Structure 1
Amino acid sequence: MAAFKKTNAKIFAKVRSEQNADIYWKKYTPPVLVKEFGPIDYIDFSPAEPHYFAVTCSVRVQIYNPITKLVTKNLSRFKEAAYGGAFRSDGKLLCAGGQESVVRLFDVSTKSLLRLFPGHKAAVHRTFFTADGYHIASFSDDKTTALWDIAAEKQIISFGEHTDYIRAGAVSPVSSDIVLSGGYDNKIQMYDTRTNKTVLTVDHGSQVESVIFLPSGGVFISAGGTEMKVWDALAGGRLISKISAHHKTITCLQVATNGHRILSGSLDRHVKIYEVGTYKTLHTLDYPNSVLSLGISANDETIVVGMVDGLISVRRREDDFNAKLDTKPERKKISHRQSGRNLHSLTVDTFVPHVEKTMISKHDTWLRKFQYSKALDSVMVNYVVNKTPHVTVAILQELTRRRGLEQALAGRDGKSLVNIIKFLIKYLGTPRYGRVLIHVADVLMDVYEDSIDELGPEPRTMFTLLENKLRQEEDLIISLTELQGTLHMLLSGAESAQESSIKEPQILEPSSAAREDLVLSIS
Structure 2
Amino acid sequence: MSSSYKRLTIKRFPRVQERETAEARYWRNFTNPEVQTHNAPVSCIHFSATAPHDFAVTCSTHVSLHAAVTGRQIRSVGRFDHVAYSAQLRSDGKLMGTGDHTGTVIDVKTKGILRAFREHKAPTRVVRWSCDGLQLASGSDDKTLRLWDLPTSTAVQVRQGHADYVRALAASPSSPDTWISGSYDHTVKMWDTRQPKRNVLELSHGAPVEACLFLPGGGLCVSAGGNEVKASVWDLLGGGGGRLLHTLANHQKTVTCLALDGTGSRLLTGGLDRHVKIYNLENFKVVHMLKYQAPVLALALAPDNSSLVAATTDRALTIRRRDLRHAAALAEREMAKSGRIGGPVGSDGGPRSVRTGTARYFNRGKTEGAGEGDVKVASRKSRAIASYDESLRKFRFREALDRGLATGSPLVVAALLEALTERGALEKALSGRDAAGLEPVVAYLARHLTNPRHTEQLIAVTSSVLDMYGDVVASSPKALSLFAKLRAQVKREVGFQKDMLSMLGAMDGVVCAAGDGRGGDIGGVPP
Structure 1 length-normalised TM: 0.58
Partner residue, 2:52: 50
Distance in 2, Cα, partners of 1:227 & 1:18: 27
Partner residue, 1:262: 267
Mapping of 1:15-414 within 5 angstroms?
19-98=21-100, 100=101, 102-196=102-196, 197-225=198-226, 226-235=229-238, 236-320=241-325, 356=357
Distance in 1, Cα, partners of 2:132 & 2:268: 26
Matched letter for residue 217 of structure 1: G
Distance in 1, Cα, partners of 2:21 & 2:225: 29
How far is 1:269 from its partner? 0.5
How far is 1:18 from its partner? 8.6
Distance in 2, Cα, partners of 1:56 & 1:63: 9
How far is 1:152 from its partner? 2.6
Partner SS, residue 22 of structure 2: helix
Instruction: Decide whether aligned partners of structure 1 residues 355 and 22 sit closer, same or farther in structure 2, where only a CA change above 3 A counts.
Output: closer
Contact 1:218 1:234 (8 Å CA) reproduced: yes
Instruction: Decide whether aligned partners of structure 1 residues 322 and 164 sit closer, same or farther in structure 2, where only a CA change above 3 A counts.
Output: closer
How far is 1:322 from its partner? 9.2
How far is 1:19 from its partner? 1.8
Instruction: Decide whether aligned partners of structure 1 residues 262 and 18 sit closer, same or farther in structure 2, where only a CA change above 3 A counts.
Output: farther
Partner SS, residue 57 of structure 2: strand
Distance in 2, Cα, partners of 1:19 & 1:286: 18
Instruction: Decide whether aligned partners of structure 1 residues 210 and 283 sit closer, same or farther in structure 2, where only a CA change above 3 A counts.
Output: same
Partner residue, 1:516: none
Matched letter for residue 176 of structure 2: S
Distance in 1, Cα, partners of 2:245 & 2:356: 60
Contact 2:86 2:127 (8 Å CA) reproduced: yes
Instruction: Decide whether aligned partners of structure 1 residues 202 and 65 sit closer, same or farther in structure 2, where only a CA change above 3 A counts.
Output: same
Instruction: Decide whether aligned partners of structure 1 residues 203 and 84 sit closer, same or farther in structure 2, where only a CA change above 3 A counts.
Output: same
Contact 2:57 2:87 (8 Å CA) reproduced: yes
Instruction: Decide whether aligned partners of structure 1 residues 81 and 216 sit closer, same or farther in structure 2, where only a CA change above 3 A counts.
Output: same
> Which runs of structure 1 show a deviation greater than 4 angstroms over 4 or more consecutive aligned residues?
321-324
Matched letter for residue 300 of structure 1: N
How far is 1:295 from its partner? 0.7
The answer for unaligned runs of 5 or more in structure 2 is: 1-18, 330-354, 359-372, 375-527
Aligned residues: 314
Contact 2:262 2:302 (8 Å CA) reproduced: no
Instruction: Decide whether aligned partners of structure 1 residues 201 and 323 sit closer, same or farther in structure 2, where only a CA change above 3 A counts.
Output: closer
Contact 1:18 1:282 (8 Å CA) reproduced: no
Matched letter for residue 210 of structure 1: A
Instruction: Decide whether aligned partners of structure 1 residues 175 and 355 sit closer, same or farther in structure 2, where only a CA change above 3 A counts.
Output: closer
Instruction: Decide whether aligned partners of structure 1 residues 356 and 62 sit closer, same or farther in structure 2, where only a CA change above 3 A counts.
Output: closer
Instruction: Decide whether aligned partners of structure 1 residues 209 and 322 sit closer, same or farther in structure 2, where only a CA change above 3 A counts.
Output: closer
**Cα deviation per residue 1:458-479 (whole Å; 9 max; x = unaligned)?**
xxxxxxxxxxxxxxxxxxxxxx
Distance in 2, Cα, partners of 1:156 & 1:140: 16
How far is 1:145 from its partner? 0.7
Instruction: Decide whether aligned partners of structure 1 residues 78 and 18 sit closer, same or farther in structure 2, where only a CA change above 3 A counts.
Output: same
Distance in 1, Cα, partners of 2:89 & 2:80: 17
Matched letter for residue 230 of structure 2: E
Structure 2 length-normalised TM: 0.57
Distance in 1, Cα, partners of 2:268 & 2:328: 27
The answer for unaligned runs of 5 or more in structure 1 is: 1-16, 325-353, 358-385, 388-523
Distance in 1, Cα, partners of 2:172 & 2:278: 22
How far is 1:301 from its partner? 0.6
Partner SS, residue 199 of structure 2: strand
How far is 1:206 from its partner? 0.5
Partner SS, residue 82 of structure 1: coil
Distance in 1, Cα, partners of 2:20 & 2:210: 28
Contact 2:42 2:57 (8 Å CA) reproduced: yes
Distance in 2, Cα, partners of 1:18 & 1:135: 45
Mapping of 1:7-22 within 5 angstroms?
19-22=21-24
RMSD (CA atoms): 2.3
Instruction: Decide whether aligned partners of structure 1 residues 194 and 29 sit closer, same or farther in structure 2, where only a CA change above 3 A counts.
Output: same
How far is 1:70 from its partner? 1.4
